C-alpha cells in the first residue's frame, strides 16, 4: 500500500511561512567532559520560541554565525535533530553531514553522529570566528510531497472524524478524511471502491474496519514515523572531542575548557489540517 503522491502539493511546504531565531550554546568542562560529549540543553525555551506548539518543527536551515574555543583539540558540534523520531531518518544535508572520528571499543571510526545527535560543524583548535557558514540545509525534506500532504497528521488525528461501529465491522468515515484518499489511490489492492460505497447524510462513507485500520497502520509506519520533525524546545547541542588522554595540551585533566557557538535557525511548521470536524 502506497500513500497518495500528488503533483499539485509539491510546493506547499516551500510556500509555508518560515521563521528564524538565533541561539547561543556555551559549554565549559574538563577534557574528560568534552571527550564523553558535553551536552547543553536549550534553557528557557519559551523565551526563544514563545508559547507555540513546537514539537513538530521542521528546521530548514542552520547557519553558524560565530564560534569560539580555547581547546587544543578540534571540537565536534552536534545537534539532536529529528528528536521526535526513534528511527534513523534518511534526510540529506545539502552541505553534507560532517563525519568526525569517534573512539569506540573497537578503535576509531568516522561517524556522522551518534546517540540521536547529527554532526553539523567543527570548532578548530583555539577557534575565534565571526564568519557565517551554512552547515545544514535539508532541501529534499522540505520539498517532500509527503510532508505537504501528511505533515499535519498524527497517530491520533488519523482516528478523528470517524464513527466506529466495530460490532458491525465498519467505520463511518468523513468524506474529507485523509485516509480515504489513500484508499482511493489503492482501491485495486484493497478491493474497495470508495466512490461506490454507501454514504450517510451525504458526508460519511462506510469503510470496513480491517481496511481502515490497515491503511492507518501503513501510514504510521511508512510515512508518519519518518517525518523529519524536531521538537524545537527540546533542542540540544553536544560538544565532543577525542579521548582526554590524547590531548596535546599539558595537564588537560586539570584544565577547564570553553566552547561557544552562535547558531541561526530557520524553521517552519507543516500546513494546518484543513479537514472538517465532526
Q: Average pLDDT by consecutive 10-residue portion of the chain (278 residues)?
A: 51 61 96 94 87 85 96 96 84 91 71 90 95 89 72 87 90 92 89 86 91 93 86 95 87 90 92 52
What pLDDT sits at residue 17? 61
Three-state secondary structure call for residue 153: coil
What pLDDT sits at residue 277? 41
Cβ neighbours for 184, distance < 8 A, ≥ 6 positions apart: 4, 194, 195
CATH 2.60.120 region(s) of the chain? Answer: 7-146+231-268
**H-assigned helices in 77-152:** 139-142, 145-150
Query: Residue 19: which of 272, 268, 216 has the closest Cα?
Result: 268
Rg, Å, the chain Cα set: 23
What pLDDT sits at residue 7? 45
β-sheet bridge partners, residue 59: 267
Rounded to 10 deg, the angle between the 178-185 and 209-222 helix axes is 100
Cβ neighbours for 91, distance < 8 A, ≥ 6 positions apart: 81, 82, 138, 140, 141, 228
Half-sphere exposure of 54 (CA within 13 A, CB side): 21
What pLDDT sits at residue 102? 75
What pLDDT sits at residue 11? 45
Query: Residue 227: which of 121, 115, 161, 149 has the closest Cα?
Result: 149
Q: Which fold has domain 7-146+231-268?
A: Jelly Rolls (2.60.120)
What pLDDT sits at residue 107? 67
Query: ∠ CA 242-243-244 to the nearest 5 degrees?
Result: 115
φ/ψ of residue 277, rounded to 5? -115, 160
Amino acid at each position: 500500500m502506497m500513500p497518495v503522491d500528488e503533483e499539485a502539493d509539491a510546493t506547499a511546504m516551500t510556500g509555508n511561512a518560515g521563521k528564524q531565531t538565533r541561539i547561543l550554546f556555551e559549554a565549559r568542562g574538563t577534557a574528560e567532559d568534552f571527550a564523553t560529549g558535553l551536552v547543553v540543553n536549550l534553557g528557557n525555551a519559551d523565551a526563544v520560541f514563545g508559547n507555540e506548539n513546537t514539537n513538530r518543527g521542521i528546521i530548514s536551515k542552520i547557519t553558524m554565525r560565530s564560534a569560539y574555543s580555547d581547546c587544543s583539540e578540534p571540537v565536534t558540534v552536534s545537534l539532536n535533530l529529528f528528536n521526535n523520531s526513534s528511527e534513523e531518518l534518511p534526510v540529506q544535508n545539502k552541505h553534507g553531514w560532517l563525519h568526525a572520528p569517534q573512539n569506540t571499543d573497537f578503535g576509531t571510526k568516522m561517524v556522522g553522529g551518534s546517540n540521536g545527535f547529527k554532526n553539523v560543524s567543527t570548532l578548530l583548535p583555539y577557534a575565534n570566528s565571526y564568519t557565517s557558514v551554512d552547515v545544514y540545509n535539508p532541501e529534499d525534506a522540505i520539498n517532500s510531497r509527503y510532508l505537504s500532504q501528511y505533515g499535519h497528521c498524527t497517530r491520533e488525528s488519523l482516528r478523528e472524524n470517524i464513527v466506529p461501529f466495530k460490532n458491525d465491522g465498519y467505520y463511518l468515515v468523513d468524506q474529507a478524511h485523509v485516509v480515504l484518499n489513500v484508499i482511493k489511490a489503492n482501491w485495486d489492492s484493497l478491493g474497495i471502491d470508495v466512490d461506490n460505497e454507501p454514504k450517510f447524510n451525504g458526508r460519511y462513507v462506510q469503510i470496513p474496519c480491517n481496511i481502515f485500520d490497515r491503511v492507518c497502520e501503513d501510514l504510521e509506519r511508512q510515512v508518519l514515523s519518518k517525518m523529519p520533525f524536531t521538537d524545537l524546545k527540546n533542542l540540544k547541542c553536544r560538544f565532543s572531542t577525542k579521548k582526554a588522554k590524547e590531548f596535546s595540551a599539558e595537564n588537560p585533566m586539570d584544565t577547564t575548557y570553553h566552547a561557544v557557538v552562535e547558531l541561526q535557525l530557520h524553521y517552519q511548521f507543516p500546513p494546518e489540517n484543513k479537514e472538517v470536524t465532526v
